[in-house]
Every structure is written in C-alpha cells, then in structure tokens.
Amino acid sequence: MNPIIELQGIQKIYHIGGEDFAALAGITLNIEEGEFAALMGPSGSGKSTLMNILGCLDRPTAGSYQLGGKEVAHLNDDELAVVRNQHIGFVFQNFNLLSRITALDNVALPLVYAGVGRKERTERAMDKLKSVGLETWAHHKPNELSGGQRQRVAIARALVNNPHIIMADEPTGNLDTKSTKDIMRLFEELHEDHKTIILVTHEPEIAACATRQLLLSDGKITKDAGKGVVMDVI
Amino acid sequence: MLFSESVQIAITALLSNKLRSILTMLGIIIGVGAVIAMISIGMGVRQNVTNSIASLGSNMLIVMPGSANSGGVRSAAGSNKKLKYDDALAIKKQIKNIDYVSPTVNSSYQVVNGNQNWNTSVYGVTPEYLHIRSLTVQSGSFITQSDLNSRNRVAVIGTTVATNLFDETNPVGKTIRINNQPYKVIGVLESKGQSSVGQDQDDMVIVPLTTAQERLLGITYIKSINIQVSSADKIEQVQSEVEALLRQRHHITNGKEDDFNVRNLTSLMETMTQTTTMLTLFLGSIAAISLVVGGIGIMNIMMVSVTERTREIGIRKALGATFQNIMMQFLIESVVIGVIGGLLGVACGVGIALAIAESGLFETVITAAPIIISFSFSVGIGLFFGIYPARKAAKLDPIEALRYE
C-alpha cells in the first residue's frame, strides 16, 4: 500500500526572543492508508505543532510533506484551505461546533465551502448523522446535546466530505468514561472502514486502541510501535 | 461558495444578536432619515420661495422706457416718451411664445368717496393685466376690451382702497372721484397682501389704459409693458426678439443705444434658488455627518463581532473556508446592516417629512434623488466600514483562532 502521508525531514522553527527554537527537529514519517496512528508525547514535545502541520493548518519551516502524493508543504493559505476541505476531517477536544446553528448545519458546513448545493448537502449531512446515530437530534443546536453527542456530531462533520485522513486532537479529553468508550468505538469502526486516522492523546488507554503508536519528545519521534504496546508517556 | 449562501450566513448572524444589530442599524436609520427629512424641508422652502416669486408674475419680462436725453443731459430711467401702446400690440402680434402682454401707465392721485379720501397709485391697464399679475376679482368684474375701446370711466379697486374709502359697505356700483373726475367702481380685487419687498399690493386703483392716458394723464406714451413668456426656457429668446422688434419700431440704427430697457425676473429667481439650494445642501450635509457617524458605529460593532467570533472564524477556516469566504461573510453582514438600515431610514425620513408637512410647520417636498442617494450612501457606508473588520477576520491565523477563548 502507498503511504498517504509522507513526511521528510520536517522542521518547525520558532524565533522566540531572538533565539531559534525547534519545535520539530526533522521528522521523517510515513503513514499508510487505513492506518490508525496514535500520536503521544508530553506537553512541549511538539505534538500539537506536528498535528497542525499534518492537518495543513500550518506550514513547516523546512522539509517535505506529501499528502496523497501531492506536495503540500509550501502551499499558500487559500490552497491549504482547499486541501483541508477536501482531504482532512478534524475532530477537536472541545468539539468546535458553531453554537448558533443546528447539528445538521454544523455537519454540512464543510460542504458549504466545498461548493455543494443545499439539497445534496442536507442529504449527505443527514446520512453522516445517521451513521453516528444522531439523526433524531439533527435539528437541535449543540448546546442542547451532551458532550458525547457533540463529539459524535463533530465526527460526522469530519466525515461528511469523505476526507482521506481524520485528525483527532484529544477527542475524548472533555468526555466522561462512558462517552469516551462510545467515541473510541466509533473510531474503531472508522478504522474497520479503512479510514486513515491520526489521534493525538496523552492517555495510554486511548492510544492502545490504535494500530500504531508514535511517541514524540523534543520535536523528534522517539518511539514507533505496533498495536497493543502501551507506551510510557513520560 | 454561492453569494446567496453568504447572505444567508450573514442574516443568521445578525438575527442571532437582534438588539445589537438594531442598535447598529439605528445610526444608519437616523442618518438616512435625517438626510431625507432635511432635504425635504430645504426643497420645501425652495418651492415656497419660488412660488412667491412666481406670484409676482412668473416668466415675466418688463419693458421700460429708457431715460430721456435732452442736449446730453440724461433724465431718470423710464422718463422718455417713446414707448407706445402700439409697441405692446406689435409685440403681442409678432413674437411667439408669449402668453400675455400688458402695457401700463401709472400715477399717484387722491381718490375721493364722499367725505373720505385716500392717496394711492392709479394704474391704467388692459384686460390682460388680470392674468399677468395673477389677480382675482373678489366681487364685481374686471376691465374689459370695450371699456378700453370707449375710454370708460370705470375703476377696479384694491381692498386697502376699498376699506379706506367705503369701510364696510360694498363699493361695487358706487362712484369715486379720481382727479375730480367721477369713476364707477365695477370691481374689488381679492387681497394679495404684501409683496416680498413689503409693498402693499392691495393699495391700488385700476382703470382702463386708454382712460388713464387720455382722461387722467393726457399722454400718448406708456410707462411699461409686462410680458409673460410661455415657459422659463424661452425667456432669453423672447427678450432678444422684443429688443430687436422695438429697435426696429423705434428706428434705432446699429451702434446706437436702446431707448428702452427689457428686464426679467429670472435673475431674482436664480439668486433665490441658489440661496435655497445652499440651504438644502447645508441641511443635507449636517445630516450626512450623522450618516458617517452611523458608519463608524457599524465598523465598531463589526470589530467587536470579529473579535467575539474569532473561534467561529477558526472553525470555518479549519473546515476549508478561504480568505475570500470569510471576507465575504463579514462584508455582506455589514452591507446587510447598511441595506436594512437604509430602507428603514428611508421609511423614517419620508414619514418625518410627511408628518412635518401635515403639521403645517414647513412645506416639504419629497423627491426621489435624496432617497436614492442617501440609500446608496448607506449601503456604501456599510461596505466601506465593513472592509477593515472583514479583512481582519479573513486574515486570522486558524491555529490562533481555534485556540482563542
């Protein structure tokens, strides 16, 4: 199988107080299509920075990033926006739903920017809401939903434009144990559907669901292990 | 992304914060309303002034004799004796675009009824004088062509004269004495009040022109010819034709000065129109300032709105919104404020103008131009003052924006 993500010597250097600080010190990494990778690391290890670069929210200072065979490391803001819209689905720790509009409209939002017509948008969004079991809540606003339900809406939104990759940044960080289990089951189902998933977490039990575990520290990948290995984060 | 999509997003955003949206619009509503109301008042004043000048006789040309010249000594204007009744008849007959021609003579006399006397101006006129001065006869009748032809001793008197000579009784049918000759009063004029220069327009006695020339004054010339031109844009043309005709009739060779003067009231009209236009612009520009202040209000609220919705912008960007998408969203929001505010402002301004007219304080004139201009201006203001906040929103870094609490 071809790697969907190919990172070559990715660096991210910040200039702080006249000094250079390397948040990412040369990362080389391939992620295959259909992989379920967990990205772990202590705070300050650079995992958020890596996540932002993988999610095309940010550009690396140096290195090459090929997403589905296309070089995206040096695209401009609008080109990156299109890549995010077409290829990447985001799931955030704090859900990041728009509070003013309904669950259905939230799910349909990426399709608005993809230029999909209203009718098709509603159908596809409803379809995804069904797949996360929330069709009865479609016309409720996010603040009328529980945390677990909100995160499922967010997952439906991440899936609606059929992206290549799902980026989940601490998706269970704000959830109780039961909801956490529900959400993780949902991720496992997505994995069985051959979706590529990259999950950032600091909880070993969550990471244990993934088929591959990456440990980041000081801007470098220090461990890269297969399923079932519970890594010591610190 | 479709334009209609952006409009819908903008309207949803405005509806989600109704009070704030309305308060923001209020600036524009007041601005547009004030512009329209002020300009309607200004235009009303202008119409008022124009009407009162027109009541002096609209589109009027006045031909006066020039000054007499005897051996190089020039007398006062109007003192020569070369303007004749026939000149007036010739003007009427030979020049187009003329409604009325009214030759007049006038002089002051003591007018007597029984033991009452009164000093007033006596005008010798033709029947057309009635139309040219927009006079109406209150009771009785006006001078007719047959009065003119037979030099009848008849008189039409103004209300001031009637009150002074007859007190409460109806003067029609009574006889007054002018210069010791008996004249039968055949009519009383409707009161016209004071003229714009403070002259009592009711203090006059009107007799047939021929009677005045032959029986009162013993002259063959006339003192002025009033000409009413059919439309304002013909005045200049008629004026030069009158001048040419009179020069020809008076045998004035090229290079010699006219022995008459032709004046028109349009220059007075122009001055007044200019003054009232200035007034209108002045009122309008004061109101326009409040429109600009309203625009600054829009900008202020849009800035707050962008800051408040930083996270929303971050989310939209993460999901694939481009610079243009976000720019459009916020720009349309502020334009929608301008459009709705503008519409409500137009309604408000027209309402105020109508209410003022209704109350009788001022006359107001509502025209399309200030409505269209102030509405477009309010939309433009929404656009202009929306650009900066919208750019600010569109330029936000998605990572920073998502992290914003």
**ipTM at complex level:** 0.92
B319/chain A closest Cα distance in angstroms:
5
C-alpha to C-alpha distances, B175 to A105, B46, B165, B187, nearest whole angstrom: 96, 44, 11, 11
Q: A12, A59, A100: which to substitute to probe chain B, counting the most B Cβ within 10 Å?
A: A100
What burial letters (b/e) apply to A201-229, b meaning 16+ CB within 10 Å? bbeeebbbbbebbbbbbebbbeeeeeeee
For residue A112, give how far its alpha carbon lies from the nearest alpha carbon of chain B (Å): 6
The nearest alpha carbon in chain A to B402 belongs to A96
User: Which of B312, B320, B323 minimises the CB distance to A85?
Assistant: B320
The residue type found at B285 is S
Decide if B261 contacts B101 (C-beta within 8 A): no
Q: Report the alpha-carbon distance of residue B247 to residue B359 in Å, rounded.
A: 54
Contacts of B108 (CB under 8 A, 6+ apart): B119, B120, B121, B122
| Per-residue pLDDT reduced to its tens digit, B173-232 | 889 999 889 999 999 998 887 766 677 888 899 999 999 998 888 888 898 888 888 877
B394–chain A nearest CA distance, Å: 11
Chain A residues inside the 8 Å CB shell of B403: none
Q: Are the beta carbons of B344 and B374 closer than 8 angstroms?
A: no
- How far is A156 from chain B, CA to nearest CA, in Å? 13
| B322 in contact with chain A, both atoms CB, cutoff 8 A | yes
For residue A84, how far is the Cα from the chain centroid? 11
pLDDT at position A203, please?
A: 85
Any CB–CB contact under 8 A between B180 and chain A?
A: no
The first and second tokens of residue A177, run together, are: 């144990």
pLDDT tens per residue, range B63-88:
888 876 666 677 666 667 778 888 88
DSSP alpha helix (H) spans, B68-188: 85-94, 129-132, 145-149, 159-166
Give the pLDDT of chain A (234 residues) as one tens digit per residue: 578 999 999 999 988 888 888 889 999 999 999 999 999 988 888 888 999 999 999 999 999 999 988 999 989 999 999 999 999 999 999 999 998 889 999 999 999 999 898 899 999 999 999 999 999 999 999 999 999 999 999 999 999 999 989 999 999 888 899 999 999 999 999 999 899 999 998 888 888 889 999 999 888 998 888 765 555 544
**CA separation for the pair B120, B167 (Å, rounded):** 16
Instruction: Answer whether A9's CB lies under 8 Å from A185's CB.
Output: no
Query: What letter represents residue A36's amino acid?
Result: F
Query: How many alpha carbons lie under 13 Å from residue A74 in its C-beta half-sphere?
Result: 4
Token duo for residue B348: 């408000």
Which residues partner with B119 through β-bridges? B110
Taking CB atoms and an 8 Å limit, are A96 and B314 in contact across chains? yes
* Distance between CA atoms of residues A222 and A216, nearest Å: 6
Q: How far does chain A reach from its first CA to its final CA, in angstroms? A: 33
Which of B18, B319, B399 to mutate: most A Cβ within 10 Å?
B319
Kindly list the residues from chain A whose CB atom is less than 8 angstroms away from the CB atom of residue B320. 81-82, 84-86, 110, 113-114, 161
Q: Which residues of B touch A55 (CB under 8 A)?
A: 318
- For B62-94, the DSSP string reads EEEE---EETTEE--TT--S--BHHHHHHHHHH
Residue B36: name the closest of B405, B344, B324 by CA: B344
Quick one: closest CA in B to A81, which residue?
Answer: B320
CA–CA distance from B263 to each of B61, B63, B260, B370, B400 (Å)?
6, 6, 10, 35, 78
Please give the single-letter amino acid code of residue B376.
S
